Structure 1
Amino acid sequence: MMIDSYGKRILVCDDEASVIDSYRRILSDLVAPTTPPVLGELDALAADLFGDEPSTVNSAAVINDITYCRQGNEAVSVFEAAKRQGRPFSAVFLDVRMPPGIDGIETAKQLRALDPAINIVVVTGYSDHRPSEIAGIVGAQDRLFYLVKPFNADEVRQMATTLVHRWSTDQQTANELAERLVQLEQTNHALRESQAYAHQAARHDPLTGLLNRKGLEEEYSAALKDAKESGRLIYVAYADLDRFKQVNDGHGHIVGDQYIREFANRLVGATGTDGFVARVGGDEFMVVFAAETGPEPMLERLLRVGENHFIEAGVRLPVNFSVGYCSCASGMPLSEAMRRADVALYSAKSAGRGVGRAYDELLDAEILHSQSLARDLRSAIAADTLDLHYQPLMSADGRRVTGVEALLRWTHSQQGSISPALFVPIAEENNLMGELGDWVLRRAFADMQCWPGLVTSINISTMQFSRPDFADHVIEMAGAAGVPSDLIEFEITETALSDNMVQFANQVEKLVRAGFRLALDDFGSGYAGIGYLNRLQFSKLKIDRSFVSGLRIKPNADRMIRSIVGMGEAMGLTVTAEGVEEQFQHDLLQAAGCDQMQGFLFHKPCSAEEVLKLLDRQREAERAA
């Protein structure tokens, strides 16, 4: 098959005229038609560099045309125009430092966004950036290469020739795959008209091609029989993607379907010939495998499936999932094996997700207890028997209440007070966060009308933000309650920022436009950066309590706090310190410049009635003064 000749093109970008001239001299004889290089030698070179198998493509590795640019912005424009005209480049050579415009790293990032498959050669005489840092910014490490200035002419020629050849080979492979896809579609069309296809379709999932439940039942029975004859044990592992709904809601079902297909392919690859994989739900998969020495090696292979991000059409998402598994005695029904693996999966999710857990009979009791609590929590929400307590936020001197934070409390009729650390995860696992979050908003909106002019802070979970219309829903609720949006502050933890950033930012932007305040909770716990603070228009950051508690035992804690306060002041943010429990902490935090204090040193969380009494005492003291 003929390769599009326009593909053998190279783009060179360097701000120094002398370097551009060097490229011209080095590559000039490759541009004019020359005797094609020996195919075997060229393929061997490509195999050494990229791990490709020797190719039988009879294509001369020469360059049709080279375009030179002096600035990164110019290179991006030329590259985009060429792609739009159907004359793409095979490879790009980029200098790192190109003042006064964007540097080579940013240029590479923009080019990668335009064409994820482009081969990029980063050329530099400095050590400003390590290759791992550049790869993290630009992406597609297998198509990212490096040359050090002053470069060797043979290296440049070899790199240019090989990359052009590889690009051409990739194009031919893509065309061949497209032809094969057409042939496959024709074959599938014929199969649809046959009884054999009907049987196949009845046993397989149409999206992934994996076994469905019916196919799983048949293969499971056969696996049990084979295991009995061979003396090996059969295991069933239940793999469930974490928060897959957010992928569909945030990026659409096309990306969601590709995400599922990619995950399925990875599971199949990890399982190999030791078992088989079935899709039993939207984001749920079963892996049945035999093992002679225990399930640990297979479990390790399965968990490694999540090490690499899913990347598709510019979307980059983590692949987070949990696994529960059990051994299957001879004759164990599939339904019981799946139940046990599901129980173990629940334990894995409770342990923090991204882990594997084995079934244990004791887990049955834990599941029953958790399910019982979930039922009771649902009833408590419906019966309005939950409570909101409020912890005052104090001025820097600790004398005046400047706001309150709403904190959810549940007193069970039989088990007494239950910690939010226990019942909130149960709400998340049982799809109760929407109802629970709405209850908190309604109660907080009602209570805050008793202290007009005082800002009320409300914690919002990641799962609430995953609801596509969450911002509109909150705006509607606040309007119906008649509370001013500028006195409502939503606290969001740093961990929430690590999920669906695009959808998250859209929701936040709506809330900020409507007048709501935004506070970044637990700042310093490891996720957010200054870019988040600017982009999401936070008005406050709350220093993670670990810094405050570490003031006595960590020598650098006070310096870290001063740095955070300084950054907050520079960005015009209110800075609040949480977990203030001792006077010396208050003194240090006040000296560091914190605007607000919160902690047991001043007030513990209390009922709305106690808040009113506290405010009355404050007003009396102010009048007396």
Structure 2
Amino acid sequence: MAGTVRDNAFWDEAYRQLASPTRNAWLIENWGVPSLDYPLYDMALVIGPDDKSLLHYRYGKPMDGRPSEYFDSSFARLVERARSPDSLQGDVHAAFIGTADGLALIGAARIRPFLQGISPPDPYVLIFGKYLDSKALNETARKFNLRGLQLTNGRVEGTIAAPLKDVEGNSVGFLSLPSERPGTLSYERVRPLLFGAAAVLLLLIIGIGMIGLLSVRSLAREEARARQNSLHDHLTGVLNRPGLAEYVEHLAIRDGQRSAGMGLYLVDIDGFKAINDLWGQQVGDKLLRAVAARLTKNLPLGSAISRLDGDAFAIVAWTNASENAAHWLSAVSEVFAEPFTIGRHEIEIGVSIGVAEAVLAGASFHHLLQQAEMALHQAKHGSGDTTVVFSPDLEAQLSEQGKLERQLIEALDRRELKVAFQPVVDACSGDICGVEALARWNSQAGPISPEVFIPVAERAGLIGMLGSQILEEAIAQGSRWSELQIAVNVSPLQLRNRYFAGGLKATLDEFAFEPHRLTIELTEGVLISNTDQAKRSISELKALGIKVALDDFGSGFASIGSLRQFSFDRVKLDKSLVANIEHDAQAAEVLAATINLVNAIGIPVTVEGIENRYQAEFARQAGCHQLQGYWFSKPLSKEELAKRFLSP
């Protein structure tokens, strides 16, 4: 339960959705509806800072009444503990709590971004619950071969009982198993025979002894099987997180291993959620089994395989002086070099890998795991199929990044980010015809470049909040400038939000801003990351009357075919195309040819990065429609823009 709550509560997307106007729909889709048939929880709740329930679902349907009426009084104390500041470091609180439908195991944690040290502005708590009903008990008994498992109110004579604790540590019930006594059972079986002939007495005694011995051995085997199950992942059969920790700690104290080194490799499957969404959870589960089997079969001796959670695997490798991270990384990479055949599907997967190494004699598994998780976190923010090896520099970098993220959260909470406006002029008349809205952050330590804080916002799941604030301020200000076109750059992460167009329409309506005056600028990366989704999002925007422009054309991989496919209203050429054309004839020819190509398919062209008169005149004569750059104006505050360009 704790692992399930942790995986869902410590999630950048979930934290981002708390600030979204469509958060309720997102909570229902991702946590409420799955409670219908999800094996790990039957109920899902999200409690806000005011103790109001944003989500209250049971078996896939909304629940009537308040949580305080359904749960006993210890539920409120569990929520309070999860909400407390002491829970910001990743604590998950779990306890057995009484409900109107019987006893349930409840797990609770504060929703926050993945990176440690970032505290949400408001304490929202995610709660999952699993009923201890007959179905759950029977499934547990079957899975772990615990015959006769039952829930009792107290200890019952002749049973082994494990207490179930509430929030305060008080017993609210017991899981009880019959305590089979081999000698007594054997005696009951042979008692009718004791009245037989004395000649067989010795044989009966020997039989009793043999039966007792077999029963003891059977109990020992069952105990070993139960321990095996508790340390192994039930889906793949490899070690689970507790099993791997015990394995490492055991080997770390063995004399024969003290001179060895240990490498921990965290392997996360890229795009696993997309595989689940496309082909279903059954295919996803089979893929995880296939990955575990191939790792177990193909990795060299001296390694241990574990599935930590979800699509993340861990590999512990014992190394000597002749082996290093490169040696083992090569072995891991070979495992994923060939596609996996799952039924009729040939699935090629990439992996992100985080690596941490230590001398075994001084190794702490949990410390090493923390380092490997830092490296994996960095690797997952790459372009995919990326490996990062932990180093002290990485730890310092992540610490600095965490500090900047905390400052950005506070700045967004106080709405400290401002909008600067850079004029866009008509190439023929030189008159201002529009502006591009640009995010600016003047922190207490001084200005921070968008090239620094925009990637930080995307990694921390804050780009939706940041983008919404910039769009809102640009539209609010633009509504005061009659007929002036406003362009705003939108990140790929914002565009992937299915509710983006609806939220933008609400903002336009709020400020009575005409949709045709707004242009959303997209970078080339949007076209490649998910073509179908990009088409849908662009179509939704254009249906509202909003224009869509392709930004930075010529700096990457977008082609003329892409311009036709997505029906852009405008193309902005990257500033690299105009740089140095006054000194480089070939660069000038490339710029002119690009403008002609875009004009040939009927799309207006804007050239940005204009820094002198020659560049402006050349672009105009080449057929460019609009110009932008420091030659005309640097980005200005709304007051400076109005004074310089909009005053009568």
TM range (shorter): 0.5 to 0.7
Q: Structure 2 CA distance, aligned partners of 1:407 and 1:309?
A: 44
Q: Which has the higher helix share?
A: 1
SS at match of 1:467: coil
Q: Structure 2 CA distance, aligned partners of 1:580 and 1:248?
A: 47
**Aligned-partner residue type, residue 405 of structure 1:** E
Match of 2:470 among 437, 440, 459: 440
**Aligned-partner residue type, residue 211 of structure 1:** L
Q: Structure 1 residue 369 and structure 2 residue 397: aligned?
A: no
**Aligned-partner residue type, residue 461 of structure 1:** S
Alpha carbons of structure 1 residues 192 and 315: separation in structure 2 relative to 1, 3 Å? same
After TM superposition, list the pairs within 5 Å mapping 1:179-190 onto structure 2: none
Determine the structure 2 residue equivalent to 1:454.
484
Q: Structure 2 CA distance, aligned partners of 1:218 and 1:534?
A: 59
Alpha carbons of structure 1 residues 289 and 450: separation in structure 2 relative to 1, 3 Å? same
Q: Structure 2 CA distance, aligned partners of 1:314 and 1:612?
A: 60
Determine the structure 1 residue equivalent to 2:326.
296
Q: Structure 2 CA distance, aligned partners of 1:485 and 1:252?
A: 39
After TM superposition, list the pairs within 5 Å mapping 1:493-504 onto structure 2: 493-504=523-534
Q: Shift of residue 593 of structure 1?
A: 1.0
Determine the structure 2 residue equivalent to 1:579.
609
Determine the structure 2 residue equivalent to 1:382.
413
Q: Shift of residue 520 of structure 1?
A: 0.8
Q: Is the 8 A contact 1:232 1:291 kept in 2?
A: yes
SS at match of 2:535: helix
Determine the structure 1 residue equivalent to 2:126.
none
Match of 1:340 among 371, 382, 386: 371
**Aligned-partner residue type, residue 498 of structure 2:** P
**Aligned-partner residue type, residue 257 of structure 2:** E
Alpha carbons of structure 1 residues 558 and 484: separation in structure 2 relative to 1, 3 Å? same
Q: Structure 1 residue 279 and structure 2 residue 307: aligned?
A: yes
Q: Structure 1 residue 232 and structure 2 residue 263: aligned?
A: no
SS at match of 1:549: coil
After TM superposition, list the pairs within 5 Å mapping 1:88-237 onto structure 2: 193=145, 199=227, 201-205=229-233, 209-222=237-250, 224=252, 228-229=256-257, 231-237=259-265
Deviations 1:396-446 (A, max 9, x none): 147111211111111111x21111111122212221112112111211121
Deviations 1:269-315 (A, max 9, x none): 77454523433344543332233321112234545777789999899
Alpha carbons of structure 1 residues 510 and 339: separation in structure 2 relative to 1, 3 Å? same
Match of 1:330 among 361, 367, 374: 361
Q: Structure 2 CA distance, aligned partners of 1:309 and 1:599?
A: 48
**Aligned-partner residue type, residue 536 of structure 2:** N
Q: Is the 8 A contact 1:465 1:507 kept in 2?
A: yes
Q: Shift of residue 610 of structure 1?
A: 1.7
Q: Structure 2 CA distance, aligned partners of 1:565 and 1:315?
A: 43
Q: Structure 1 CA distance, aligned partners of 2:587 and 2:538?
A: 31
Q: Shift of residue 235 of structure 1?
A: 0.7
Deviations 1:148-186 (A, max 9, x none): xxxxxxxxxxxxxxxxxxxxxxxxxxxxxxxxxxxxxxx
Q: Structure 1 residue 536 and structure 2 residue 566: aligned?
A: yes
SS at match of 2:513: coil
After TM superposition, list the pairs within 5 Å mapping 1:419-434 onto structure 2: 419-434=449-464
Q: Structure 1 CA distance, aligned partners of 2:469 and 2:239?
A: 42
Alpha carbons of structure 1 residues 457 and 425: separation in structure 2 relative to 1, 3 Å? same
After TM superposition, list the pairs within 5 Å mapping 1:544-583 onto structure 2: 544-552=574-582, 555-583=585-613
SS at match of 1:394: strand
SS at match of 1:280: strand
Q: Shift of residue 582 of structure 1?
A: 2.3
Q: Is the 8 A contact 1:191 1:197 kept in 2?
A: no
Count of residue correspondences: 430
Alpha carbons of structure 1 residues 592 and 328: separation in structure 2 relative to 1, 3 Å? farther
Q: TM-score, normalised by structure 2?
A: 0.59
Alpha carbons of structure 1 residues 569 and 342: separation in structure 2 relative to 1, 3 Å? same
Deviations 1:348-395 (A, max 9, x none): 467776543332223333222211211111111111111111111111
Alpha carbons of structure 1 residues 386 and 219: separation in structure 2 relative to 1, 3 Å? same
Q: Shift of residue 240 of structure 1?
A: 4.1
Q: Structure 1 CA distance, aligned partners of 2:485 and 2:348?
A: 36
Q: Shift of residue 193 of structure 1?
A: 4.7
Deviations 1:221-266 (A, max 9, x none): 3554579538431111234456766777788767776776677677
SS at match of 2:611: coil
Q: Shift of residue 501 of structure 1?
A: 2.0
**Aligned-partner residue type, residue 364 of structure 1:** E
Q: Structure 1 CA distance, aligned partners of 2:303 and 2:452?
A: 37
SS at match of 2:557: coil
Q: Is the 8 A contact 2:257 2:360 kept in 1?
A: no
Alpha carbons of structure 1 residues 317 and 509: separation in structure 2 relative to 1, 3 Å? farther
Q: Shift of residue 512 of structure 1?
A: 1.3
Match of 2:634 among 604, 609, 621: 604
Deviations 1:91-111 (A, max 9, x none): xxxxxxxxxxxxxxxxxxxxx
Q: Structure 2 CA distance, aligned partners of 1:301 and 1:205?
A: 23
Alpha carbons of structure 1 residues 411 and 583: separation in structure 2 relative to 1, 3 Å? same
Q: Shift of residue 584 of structure 1?
A: 2.0
Alpha carbons of structure 1 residues 449 and 257: separation in structure 2 relative to 1, 3 Å? farther
Instruction: Give the gaps of 5 or more residues in structure 2.
Output: 1-140, 147-221
Determine the structure 1 residue equivalent to 2:442.
411
Q: Structure 1 residue 507 and structure 2 residue 537: aligned?
A: yes
Q: Structure 1 CA distance, aligned partners of 2:556 and 2:421?
A: 27
Q: Structure 2 CA distance, aligned partners of 1:431 and 1:469?
A: 16
Q: Structure 2 CA distance, aligned partners of 1:365 and 1:214?
A: 29
**Aligned-partner residue type, residue 265 of structure 2:** A
Q: Is the 8 A contact 1:224 1:234 kept in 2?
A: no
Match of 1:360 among 378, 388, 391: 391
Instruction: Give the gaps of 5 or more residues in structure 1.
Output: 1-188, 621-625
Q: Is the 8 A contact 1:278 1:286 kept in 2?
A: yes
Deviations 1:51-78 (A, max 9, x none): xxxxxxxxxxxxxxxxxxxxxxxxxxxx
Q: Which has the higher strand share?
A: 2
Q: Structure 2 CA distance, aligned partners of 1:251 and 1:420?
A: 39
**Aligned-partner residue type, residue 487 of structure 1:** R
Q: Shift of residue 575 of structure 1?
A: 0.9
Determine the structure 2 residue equivalent to 1:472.
502
User: Matched residues, percent identical?
Assistant: 30
Deviations 1:445-470 (A, max 9, x none): 21111212122111111111232322
RMSD: 3.6
Q: Structure 2 CA distance, aligned partners of 1:523 and 1:369?
A: 33
Determine the structure 2 residue equivalent to 1:490.
520
Alpha carbons of structure 1 residues 246 and 490: separation in structure 2 relative to 1, 3 Å? farther
Alpha carbons of structure 1 residues 423 and 246: separation in structure 2 relative to 1, 3 Å? farther
